[in-house]
Amino acid sequence: MSTPPSLLRAFRPQVQERLYDFYDELRSADDLFWDRTLRAWVATGHAVVSEAVDDPGLSSVRYPDMEDVPEELRPLAEVLSRQMLYNDAPDHPRLRALISKAFTPRAVRTLRGRIVEAVDRIITHAAPTGRMDIVADLARPLPLTIICDLLDVPEQDRPALAAWSEPIAEAIGNSRLDDDRNREASQSMTDMLAYFRELLTRRDTPPAPHTLRALVSAQAENTDQDLDELLANCALLLIAGHETTTHFIGNATLALLRHPHAADQLRGRADLMPAAVEELLRYDAPVQLMLRRARRDLELAGRTISEGQTVLLVGGAANRDPAVFPDPHVLDFERPGGRHMAFGHGPHFCLGAALARLEGAIVLETLLTRLPGLRLDGAAPQWQRSLNFRGLTRLDVAFTPPSDDQGAAMGSGRRCQQDTTLMGET
């Protein structure tokens, strides 16, 4: 590279389309380098990322000094600092303990019927038209529906939560927003917390059984856990629970459409679905980065990381490291071994991984079995601008509309019988 390498180049639209070639360039130059533009260490190799993600010398605290945060962003930063994602032990396991009860394999399995119902409704509505935008029509509404069901959010309130989550996710995924957008993100978080405070303390309507609202309400009444912490983590679940799954569904669908042989293989072998979900997560993960800060001077991959320095762990690059994944740019549902980093690892392993896997499997199976001739249509897919989140803004597809007889029988297909194997680590 003739100019100093910088991960910031990934923010450019032209680089987003060839993101993994760009990662190859960075990794070939150095799998751990100091990015002078971002003033952070950038790790792109699988071995380095794997070592760092479990290193107790690296902290997940995103804002160690609130005085360094721009004033417009500070209200948002203060809430993020109460979320489990941006805390270390002992606060992290304490904050995670209650929320994790809603994401056990047994709890997730109870959501399967609701997911199938929601996907069927969306596909049945779109099928007669012969075309749809996978992002707007399916990938966005489905995860929002499921996470709002889990939180016990009334139907009429969901559009407001979706609107609030977008500027928040943009701020989380990008470190360089202007003052107005930082201000909008902070105000959206303030509005979201006010809503959750009202929802969780509402007495006129009791919470539905087995929802997170019921768990959190009971916790708030029976312990001295800070309500602000509970509210902050409800906001985290709402944002992470639908933003990342939205991106996974869009990315995975695009990958299958660009690899029709893989789609045909999966269409003909339902037993491959669990492995296919993992391979699609590796191939184009919805979350690309994990941020850590050095608690003290430490050694990582032979380099000295100074106390307070930021380390950006590029899981998306690690997932394409040929040292671990031979022919990494090939989509291979029978790929042996290798641990992808799409959900992180260790104490911060994604709490909603089992739910995301199940939603993705049901969606992909339904698309492949109920929409014959599924293909890309219209404008080229467009990626959102973000260093952290990898997702499409639009994905237009076309397919063969069913005949009247076919339409009457559309709901009788397979429905992901491999539930147990899709649960994974929690």
CATH code at position 157 = 1.10.630.10
| 1 domain residue, yes or no | no
| 13 domain residue, yes or no | yes
| Range 212-227 average pLDDT | 68
Instruction: Give 420's pLDDT tier (boundaries 50, 70, 90).
Output: very low
Task: Report the candidate in 176, 159, 183, 137 with the shortest Cα–Cα distance to residue 392.
Answer: 137
| 83 domain residue, yes or no | yes
| 2 domain residue, yes or no | no
Determine the pLDDT at residue 104.
Answer: 81
| 19 domain residue, yes or no | yes
pLDDT in tens, 342-390: 999 888 899 999 999 999 999 999 999 999 999 999 888 989 988 899 9
Is the C-alpha dihedral spanning 329, 334, 336, 340 positive or negative? positive
| Range 326-334 average pLDDT | 96
| 52 domain residue, yes or no | yes
Number of domains in the chain: 1
- Report the alpha-carbon distance of residue 271 to residue 181 in Å, rounded: 45
- Report the alpha-carbon distance of residue 48 to residue 314 in Å, rounded: 10
What percent of the chain shows pLDDT beyond 70? 92
**Distances in whole angstroms, Cα of residue 297 to Cα of each of 67, 93, 105, 210:** 23, 25, 39, 45
Residue 388's SS3 state is coil
Residue 416 has pLDDT above 60, yes or no: no
| 405 domain residue, yes or no | yes
State the residue range of the domain holding 75: 7-423
Q: Assign residue 269 a region: left if phi > 0, alpha if psi is -120 to 50, beta otherwise?
A: beta
Q: What letter does residue 201 receive in the DSSP assignment? A: T
pLDDT in tens, 286-300: 999 999 999 999 999
Residue 144 has pLDDT above 80, yes or no: yes
Q: Looking at the chain, how many residues does it have?
A: 426
| Range 156-172 average pLDDT | 92
Q: Which residue has the higher pLDDT, 173 or 159?
A: 159
Residue type, 274: P
Q: Are strands 40-43 and 310-314 parallel, antiparallel or unpaired?
A: parallel
